[in-house]
C-alpha cells in the first residue's frame, strides 16, 4: 500500500515531526534512498523509526525496561547484557535511528537501522522486513551486509572501550527461516525476490555458529579487526529478534510509560 502522506506511515512522538522529516530526507553517499520508501507500508525504515524513536523518548526506567525485554528476546531469554543492572542515568542511554558510523581504522562506514549506545555498550540492530541481506560485491563491497555491520561496530566500540552487540531483526524466528530454506531454493528459480529471505538466516547462522564446529567464517569476515576481540565472544553477542517480539515490547512500554 502507498500512503499519500508519509506521516500516515509512521508513529510520531509529538514534537518529533521535523526530526522525522529530516530522517527520511537524510543524505547517505549522495542518495536520499528513504524518501520513496517512506510512503510504502512495506517500509522497514518506517517500522524501525516508529518503534525505536518512540522508545528513545520514553522515561528512563520505561526505556531501560523495554530495552532489557528486547535484549532478552533477542538472546532467547539469556541476554549477555542487562541495562537495568548498570545504574544508568537518562543521558547515558541513547537510541538512534539511521545513524551513520565511521570506522577510521578500517576505512569503512555504514548507516545503521537502529543503534543503542551506553557508556560501556554499543548495540547495532539490522532491520529487515521483506528484503534479504545485501551480498558482498567485490571490489567495491568486499563484505556482505552482516559482516560489514560487525566489522564497523566492533571497530567503533573498540574506540570507546565498549562491548559490541549485534542484533538481526527479521520477520520470523531464526529456526523457522532456516527450515524454509530448501523450499525457498526450489521456488527461487521461478519467482525470486521474497524467497531470498532464507539467505539472511543462513548467513547469520554461518557467522554465529560457524561450520564444522569452527568459527573460521566469522574470523575470516573480521580480518583486520578480529584481533581486538575474542571471536567466540563476538559470536555469543549476536542475537536474533522478530518484529512480533519488538512490537510487543514497544507496545508494553508505551502502555506502562509514567
Instruction: Check residue 194 and give its pLDDT.
Output: 52
Q: What are phi and psi of 109, to 5 degrees?
A: -145, 160
- With cut-offs at 50, 70 and 90, classify the pLDDT of residue 123: very high
Least confident of 66-70, 88-92, 101-105, 230-234: 88-92
The sheet carrying 108-118 orders its strands as 94-103, 108-118, 121-127, 163-170, 238-242
Which string of DSSP letters, residue by residue, matches 17-60?
HHHHHHHHT--BTTB-THHHHTTBTT-HHHHHHHHHHHHHTS-H
User: What would the pLDDT profile of 178-226 be if each residue is shown by its tens digit?
Assistant: 876 555 554 454 444 456 888 899 999 999 999 877 999 999 999 999 6
- What's the pTM? 0.93
Asked if residue 103 lies in contact with residue 156, where contact means CB atoms within 8 angstroms, the answer is yes
pLDDT > 80? residue 19: yes
Mean pLDDT of the chain: 90
Instruction: Check residue 195 and give its pLDDT.
Output: 62
Instruction: Check residue 28 and give its pLDDT.
Output: 67
* Distance of alpha carbon 248 from alpha carbon 258, whole angstroms: 18
Amino acid at each position: 500500500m502507498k500512503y499519500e502522506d508519509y506521516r500516515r506511515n509512521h508513529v510520531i512522538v509529538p514534537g518529533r515531526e521535523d526530526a522525522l522529516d529530516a530522517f527520511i530526507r537524510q543524505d547517505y553517499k549522495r542518495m536520499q534512498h528513504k524518501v520513496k520508501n517512506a510512503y510504502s507500508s512495506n517500509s522497514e525504515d518506517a517500522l524501525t523509526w516508529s518503534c525505536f524513536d518512540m522508545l528513545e523518548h520514553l522515561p528512563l526506567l520505561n526505556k531501560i525496561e523495554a530495552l532489557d525485554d528486547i535484549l532478552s528476546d533477542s538472546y532467547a531469554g539469556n541476554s549477555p547484557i542487562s541495562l537495568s543492572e548498570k545504574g544508568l542515568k537518562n543521558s547515558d542511554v541513547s537510541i538512534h535511528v539511521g545513524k551513520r558510523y565511521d570506522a577510521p581504522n578500517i576505512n569503512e562506514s555504514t548507516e545503521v537501522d537502529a543503534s543503542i549506545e551506553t557508556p560501556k555498550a554499543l548495540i547495532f540492530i539490522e532491520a529487515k522486513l521483506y528484503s534479504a541481506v545485501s551480498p558482498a560485491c567485490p571490489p567495491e563491497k568486499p563484505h556482505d551486509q552482516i559482516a560489514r555491520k560487525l566489522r564497523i561496530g566492533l571497530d567503533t566500540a573498540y574506540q570507546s572501550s565498549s562491548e559490541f552487540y549485534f542484533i538481526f531483526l527479521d520477520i520470523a524466528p531464526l529456526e523457522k527461516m532456516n527450515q524454509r530454506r530448501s523450499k525457498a531454493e526450489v521456488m527461487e528459480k521461478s519467482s525470486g525476490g521474497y524467497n531470498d529471505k532464507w539467505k539472511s538466516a543462513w548467513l547469520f547462522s554461518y557467522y554465529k555458529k560457524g561450520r564444522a564446529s569452527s568459527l573460521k567464517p566469522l574470523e575470516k569476515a573480521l580480518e583486520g579487526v578480529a584481533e581486538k576481540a575474542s571471536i567466540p565472544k563476538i559470536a555469543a553477542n549476536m542475537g536474533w529478534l522478530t518484529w512480533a517480539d519488538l512490537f510487543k515490547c514497544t507496545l508494553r512500554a508505551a502502555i506502562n510509560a509514567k
